[in-house]
Structure 1
Amino acid sequence: MTARIFKPAKSAMSSGQAKSREWVLEYVNDTGREVDPLMGWTSSDDTQAQVRMRFATKEAALDYAKDHGIEAVVADPKPRKPNVRAGGYGENFATNRRGAWTH
C-alpha cells in the first residue's frame, strides 16, 4: 500500500490559512474507479483511499508510515509569496485618497 504525504493548499474560498498548516497522509487508490451503470456514481473497492490522517509535522507523518510499513511519497509544498498590501483593508476607506474611489 502506498501513501502520499503532503501539505494541503489553502481554500480558494477564503484568504485564511485554516487546515493548511498540517501535513496529510493519504492512501493512493490502488484499484481503478468504476461508474455505476444505474446511478452514474463513481465507486471503488479500495476503502483505504478514504482514509486521510493529519499530522503536525512532516517527520511525524514519515515516522507513522515507517512504523506501519507504508511506502510513502512526500510532496513538499511550494513557497508562497505573502499577499500584504501596504495600507491593508483600511486603505479602501482612506480620507487622503488622491483619486475617486470606484469599484
Structure 2
Amino acid sequence: MQSGKNNTKYWTIDFSTLAKGHRWENQLIGWQGTSDNMQAVKLRFFTLQQAIDYATRHGLEYSVKQPTSPKFKVKTYKQNFVYNPDKLRMIYTK
C-alpha cells in the first residue's frame, strides 16, 4: 500500500471540539451529532507564519506541531527468500 503526498505541503488550523462535547446520538442510526460547527472547519496556509498571524489576529490559542519525516526501511523482494539460520519461517496454508 502506498500513501500519497498530495495536500501535505500546507500548514493547517484545526479547531478542537468543545470541552463538554455537546454531542448527542441518533437512536435510529447510531450516528453522533453536535452543535459545534467549528469542528468541521479546517484552514490551510502556505507558511507557518501565515497560520500564526491568523491565529493571533483572531485571538485563538494555538500550538504548533512540527511535521515529521517518515522513516523508510529498505526492503527488496529477494529478502523474503534469503536463508537465515536463526529464524525459522512458519508458512501456514490455512
TM range (shorter): 0.5 to 0.7
Matched, 1:29 2:12: no
Query: For 1:40 and 1:15, how far apart are their aligned partners in 2?
Result: 31
Runs of 5+ consecutive residues of structure 1 not aligned to the other structure: 1-12, 86-103
Query: Which has the higher relative contact order, 1 or 2, with Cα contacts under 8 A spaced 6 or more apart?
Result: 1
RMSD: 2.5
Higher strand proportion (structure 1 or 2): 1
Q: Equivalent residue for 1:16? A: 4
Runs of at least 5 residues in structure 2 that lack an aligned partner in the other structure:
76-94
Provide the C-alpha distance between the structure 2 equivalents of 1:62 and 1:21, rounded to a whole number of angstroms.
16
Matching of residue 67 in structure 1 with residue 53 in structure 2: no
Q: 1:71 to 1:34 in 2, by over 3 A?
A: same
- Residues 83 and 61 (structure 1), Cα distance of their counterparts in 2 relative to 1, 3 Å cut: farther
In structure 2, what is the Cα distance between the partners aligned to 1:83 and 1:68?
A: 43
Q: How much identity, in percent, do the aligned residues show?
A: 34
**1:100 aligned residue:** none
Residue of 45, 48, 72 corresponding to 1:58? 48
Shift of 1:17: 1.2
TM-score norm. by structure 1 comes to 0.60
CA distance in 1, matches of 2:73, 2:46: 25
Q: Deviations over 1:40-95 (max 9, x none)?
A: 1111110011110110011111110000111112111122346789xxxxxxxxxx
SS in 2 for 1:54: strand
